[in-house]
Amino acid sequence: MILPSTPLYQAKSDAEFRIRMIQHIKTAYKDILGKDAALLDLPNGLDIVQSKIQQRLYDISNGEIDFFKNEERREQLAA
């Protein structure tokens, strides 16, 4: 895979890349994420935000867009 020659992709470690990626997401998707952007600062923030976005897509599409496995969907509905 060829990566763009931008500072985001020139990280020297996974941790540095993660920090840069979170900052990029906060900047590029601030209008979509709104207050949920603050969740990205949590240790598992990327997973939380991903789950929230997947749930939004599911709700908006009336269930036609479903990225969750069946077990995950049952857990979401039970919570």
Instruction: Please check whether residue 5 lies inside any domain of the structure.
Output: no
Say if 6 falls within a structural domain.
no
* pLDDT tens, the chain, 79 aa long: 566 677 767 778 888 888 888 988 999 999 989 999 999 999 999 999 998 988 888 888 888 888 776 665 556 666 6
pTM of structure: 0.64
pLDDT of residue 17: 83
Q: How far is CA 52 from CA 1, 43, 45, 59, 73, in A?
A: 29, 16, 11, 10, 12
> Which residues lie below 8 Å from residue 16, measured CB to CB, with a gap of 6+?
none
Per the structure, the complete domain to which residue 47 belongs is given by 12-78
The total domain count for the chain is 1
Report CA 12 to chain centroid distance, whole Å. Answer: 22
Report the C-alpha gap between 78 and 67 in whole angstroms.
17
